[in-house]
Amino acid sequence: MTGPGRAAMLVVVAWLLAAVALLAAQGMLVPYLLAVGAATLAGLGLRALVRQQRAPSMLERPPLPERYRVADDIHQPIATVVAVAEAEATAGRQ
C-alpha cells in the first residue's frame, strides 16, 4: 500500500472509531449494532433469494456433446470414442 493510501485508511479508521465512541457515549451503540445486524441479514437473505431465482434451471441445460454421450456408453469401443472426439475437434476449426 502506498503512503497516501495508508494515510487515507488511517483517516477512515479514525472517523469510524470516533463514530463508535460517540454512539457508545450516547448509549446508542447496542441498538445501532442490532439494526445493522438485522439489515445485513435481511440484505444477504434477499440477495440469496434473487440469486437462486436468477440461476438457470437444471432442466434447461443444453444437451451434452456427442463425444460425451459416446464416451459414457461403456459398450462403445475406444476407437469410436476417439473418432467422434476427433470429428468434433476438426468440425470446430472449420
Q: What is the pLDDT along the chain (94 residues), one digit of tens a residue?
A: 678 889 999 999 999 999 999 999 999 999 999 999 999 999 999 999 999 999 888 788 777 777 777 777 778 888 888 888 888 888 766 5
In 3D space, the residue among 61, 84, 62 whose CA is nearest the CA of residue 71 turns out to be 84
Alpha helices in 1-94 (DSSP H): 3-25, 29-54, 66-72, 78-93
For 5-30, how does the pLDDT look when each residue is reduced to its tens digit (9 = 90+)? 899 999 999 999 999 999 999 999 99
C-alpha to C-alpha distance for 68 and 61, rounded to whole angstroms:
15
pLDDT at residue 23, rounded to an integer: 93
pTM above 0.75, yes or no: no
